[in-house]
Amino acid sequence: MAGLPHVLPQIQLVFALSSRPRLTSTQHSQLSPDVVCISLPQARLHPLWVNNNGNVTFDAPRGRYTPFGLSATRTPIIAPFFADVDTRGTGTDPVAYGYRETTFEGHAAFCVSWVNVGYFSGKEDKTNSFQLLLVSRPDAGVGAFDIVFNYGRVQWETGDASNGVDGLGGSSARVGFSSGTGIPGSYSELPGSGTNGSFLDTSPVGLVHSSLGSATLGRYTFPVRSDGQIADRYVAMGDSYQSGEGAYSYESGTDNGTNKCHRSANAYPNLLVDRQVVRLQLDFVACSGAVIHDLIYSSEEDGAPLEGEAAQVDSLGTDTRLVTVKIGGNGLDFGGTIKSCVESGIKSWIPIVNWFNYSCIGNQGDEVEANLADLETGQVGEDLLDLYRLIRAKAPYARIEVVSYPRFFPAEAADNLLECASIASKADQKWINAGIVRANSAIERITSLAGVGAINMSDVLEGHELCDPEPAMNGVVDPFSPESYHPNVLGHSLMADRIEQELSTIIEPTDQIRPQETVQRVFKVQGKRFTVNVAWPGSDVETTLTSPSGQVFSRSSHNGAMHDNGLTYEYYDINSPEPGQWTVTSFGKDVFPAGEPATLSMYDMPELNRVPNAVVTTTGSGPSFTFDGTTSVDPGERLRTTCGISATVPLRSEQSLNTHMHSLDSTWSRS
């Protein structure tokens, strides 16, 4: 969103009004204990108008009461609840506003309260209470402020003149803001605007039941910073598992000969917004086939199947409020590995006796191991870490959640042979699952280094995996098309459920740091890599580290540590840290009087335990084969092996073979 360029200078004038005489009305309305507004039915504070109909406008009052899409207005407007408010009933309160001595969380604020207001015509059987705050934030830059919407009760959504009946239905309320230019990107509405029942208390997604940027239910905060950007966008970036490959209903322009990004209407980013779990404007840039490079750089002009795709990170900015990113699978060649397994497995069934000689693990094991190692300790992992940090730098006001990949098969594997997405061997199914879980663990460790959120999807399809009665993932879509081995509509619904659950968790700050205050925390470090990440909403909190021997790491003296700080964050990343007790000191360098909530995360990365290398040789002839695993090794030295099993197997009995393979598998144990 391009912000509200016409509104910004006028809002700044509101805060200049503090030099004017304060109104002396004795009537007050109060929605929350810290915000009191002076009562006045309709007010004009040049050039701002407080209107009865649930909004404030600039340059001119808003006389129309039936709500309409805010993209259509040519008058700059901020609307916490644009609807047909009527305060003539005896049980309703007049609209009230206040400024000068009004404060919110320690900042000067202009406020407007619509408390206990009825609806047209003179109805008071249902009343609403809501509030608008324009909060000055000079600590976050010249001209910076926050738009805050507070909701205490929402019982009606429309008036009789707007085709409503008893306050319900008809042309329902709208919530948002607009610069009045009509230019795309210069206006914004909360999902649910104009939708009957969406905002009501009786709806599970009603305004009072959720929040944005606050731990207080019913409170929605939109930071507006000095560049004029309003933080109201959700950017969904990444690869096919986020774009919706396999869920079909692809967006126009993403399913043609040169662009196969396959952004689906059924993908979980769209579901989160459609369900109003995320009340933000969606910028959906994920693309099937994308690798880390595609998130950072634009595609070439002839770069099918991504032609015309800009660098995904270019969609980020100070107006970004939420980011979900899922990337890495293509770099690990998930698709190529599965395709090779499927194709070779199918060929091995001609004749059926060849099946016994085929193994995905044996054919693709070395390549997969090398790719996973590169993610865990190599360049791919460092590239992913750099990407997460780049997202943080480009979207300093956003909550960033890294979403990992779902397991394909049931945890205990399945016996469906060719019907199980053409991966017949239970050992191969378990190996594929283990590779996904291992990759997810590596991704989660990298998010800890970066100080961003992680949503683990390993078991999200449990009960609906391949071979289950109602799978949430496609098997082989013949011929092996990109939709193969991708979540279907049900899969994306389950992933949306998991993300919704995670987003409902409020990130509580570690400390409230006041001006010139110093807060110290001590950590014992013994791993191979030590990172400290500090985040805050605005202003500046400066952090230094002190090693056990007294060496100080600061903004001016990094001492070899990787370091960066931006508008809302600072981090240190130290390889081979000195073992012992480290002190993290945070200083309120430039924060407002009430203090700045700061969140500190520390990660002491341990030495990675290498997975065992299972080596099983098969010898024999006729109906008798010997399986020998005694040459297996474990770099982590945690594995005990008691292999060396001889079994007589009828050559064509898959059941007997699986029984003995399971027996072999059960002899491995961890100390």
The position carrying tokens 């309160």 is: 93
Cα–Cα dist 640/621, whole Å: 29
> β-strands 320-326, 453-455: how paired?
unpaired
Which burial class, exposed, middle or buried, applies to 546 when counting CB atoms under 10 A from its CB (0-12, 13-18, 19+)?
middle
Beta bridge pairs of residue 148: 133, 221
611: closest CA among 642, 643, 635? 635
Query: What integer pLDDT is reported at residue 610 of this predicted model?
Result: 64
Query: What integer pLDDT is reported at residue 544 of this predicted model?
Result: 98
Element (H, E) at 434: helix 426-450
Q: What is the mean pLDDT of the chain?
A: 82
pLDDT digits (tens, 9 = 90+) for 488-546: 999 999 999 999 999 988 888 999 999 999 999 999 999 899 999 999 987 899 999 99
pLDDT digits (tens, 9 = 90+) for 401-450: 999 999 999 988 876 554 577 787 888 889 999 999 999 999 999 999 99
Cα–Cα dist 333/326, whole Å: 15
Give the pTM.
0.82
Element (H, E) at 622: none
Cα dihedral 653→657→659→662 (10° resolution): -160
Q: Determine the angle formed by the axes of helices 426-450 and 654-665, rounding to 10 degrees.
A: 40
Query: What integer pLDDT is reported at residue 49 of this predicted model?
Result: 77
- The number of beta carbons lying within 10 Å of the beta carbon of residue 503 is 18
**Contact criterion met (CB below 8 Å) for 87 and 115:** no
Q: Which residues of the chain have pLDDT under 50?
A: 1-2, 5, 8, 13, 15-34, 38-44, 46, 348-356, 418, 638-648, 651-671
**Contact criterion met (CB below 8 Å) for 410 and 464:** no
Give backbone dihedrals phi and psi of 49, rounded to 5 degrees, phi first.
-115, 130
Q: Determine the angle formed by the axes of helices 360-377 and 426-450, rounding to 10 degrees.
A: 10
Which amino acid is residue 582, in one-letter code?
W
CA atoms within 13 A on the CB side of 57: 18
CATH of domain 511-605: 2.60.120.380
The position carrying tokens 């013949």 is: 478
Query: What integer pLDDT is reported at residue 304 of this predicted model?
Result: 67
**Contact criterion met (CB below 8 Å) for 195 and 125:** no
pLDDT digits (tens, 9 = 90+) for 613-650: 666 677 766 666 676 766 666 655 544 444 444 444 55
**Contact criterion met (CB below 8 Å) for 495 and 403:** yes
Query: What integer pLDDT is reported at residue 6 of this predicted model?
Result: 52
Query: What integer pLDDT is reported at residue 206 of this predicted model?
Result: 94
Query: What integer pLDDT is reported at residue 73 of this predicted model?
Result: 80
Give backbone dihedrals phi and psi of 489, rounded to 5 degrees, phi first.
-60, -45
**What is the length of the chain?**
671
Q: What counts of helices (H) and strands (E) characterise the chain?
A: 10, 34
Query: What integer pLDDT is reported at residue 11 of this predicted model?
Result: 54
Residue extent(s) of CATH 2.60.120.380 domains in the chain: 511-605
The position carrying tokens 């910076």 is: 144
| Tokens of residue 649, six digits | 């197997």
Residue extent(s) of CATH 3.40.50.1110 domains in the chain: 233-503
Homologous superfamily (CATH) for 233-503: SGNH hydrolase (3.40.50.1110)
Residues ≥6 apart with Cβ < 8 Å to 452: 388, 391, 392, 400, 401, 402
**Contact criterion met (CB below 8 Å) for 36 and 84:** no
- The number of beta carbons lying within 10 Å of the beta carbon of residue 630 is 11
Query: What integer pLDDT is reported at residue 637 of this predicted model?
Result: 52
DSSP character for 460? T
